[in-house]
Amino acid sequence: MTFPFDIALVWLDLAGVFFFAVSGSLLAARKQFDLVGSLLLASLVSLGGGVIRDIILNTVPAAFTNPAYLLPPMLATFLVYSLYSSVQRFTSLLVLFDAGGLALFCITGTLKALSLGMNPYSAILLGVTTAVGGGLLRDVTANEVPQLFNNGDLYAVPAFTGAALTTLLWLGGLFNGLTAFGVAALVFAFRVVAWRRAWTMPMAVHGRHRRQSGGGKPGTRN
């Protein structure tokens, strides 16, 4: 792994950390957590997926070796604390920031696995784990139905798509800044459109009717 690639991977990772951290702080504000609770939830969602990934890869989690990873949750907590009264009417913000984190983490998780010699299938799974792991921890901690299991909502599928495309581009020698941006934009758009249009996966039992979740807006996160 070359030095420029290493730096690019860290910056992409930090951007994903920030997006997920904002989603955590927004949920904490809706749940009326205090400032410490907001910071902890922001840190959990933004760092949890990467920690799980790095433990599986048998490396020291980046969040514990690079102090820069602690800054985005702090910044996100401060921004939400300062601006929440002005932006709370924009009910889709949580989903939008969550989708941004999902789009970036499915790429960085896959790239880190590939750069450490993992086979393509394992790299895709680790990319998805990185993308959805933090959100799962966030929702469980905040006593929400995890987005990953929310009535067939398309959450993991966009992450799988991004991880698979990243792997194909890597193996074909076509992965660069431009293609990375294209993958991230595609995953972000896929997730947001799926949420807006209430696209869902089939139920686990054939013939069962799906409960409506209110215009595609999952749970209480409207």
> Considering the entire predicted model, what is its pTM?
0.86
pLDDT of residue 119 exceeding 60, the answer is yes
pLDDT of residue 214 exceeding 70, the answer is no
pLDDT band at 207 (very low <50, low <70, confident <90, very high): low
- What tokens were used for 54? 């790095």
Higher pLDDT, 154 or 4: 154
For residue 146, how many other CB atoms are within 10 A of its CB?
A: 18
User: Is the CB of residue 24 less than 8 Å from the CB of residue 113?
Assistant: no
Give the pLDDT mean for 156-181: 94
Nearest residue to 22 via CA among 78, 63, 103: 78
Give the pLDDT mean for 149-168: 89
For 134, 149, 213, the CA distances from 16, given in Å and listed in that order, are 11, 22, 27
Q: How far apart are CA 113 and CA 120, in angstroms?
A: 9
Task: Return the percentage of the chain with pLDDT > 70, whole number.
Answer: 89
Higher pLDDT, 130 or 90: 130
pLDDT for residue 159 = 96
SS3 for 122-176 is HHHHHHHHHHHHHHHHHHHHCCCCCHHHCCCECCHHHHHHHHHHHHHHHHCCCCC
- What tokens were used for 89? 């009417």
Q: How confident is the prediction for the chain on average, in pLDDT?
A: 87
pLDDT for residue 4 = 61
Q: What does the domain layout of the chain look like in residue ranges?
A: 3-196
pLDDT for residue 88 = 77
User: Is the CB of residue 134 less than 8 Å from the CB of residue 48?
Assistant: yes
pLDDT band at 85 (very low <50, low <70, confident <90, very high): confident
pLDDT for residue 209 = 55
First-last CA distance in the chain: 41
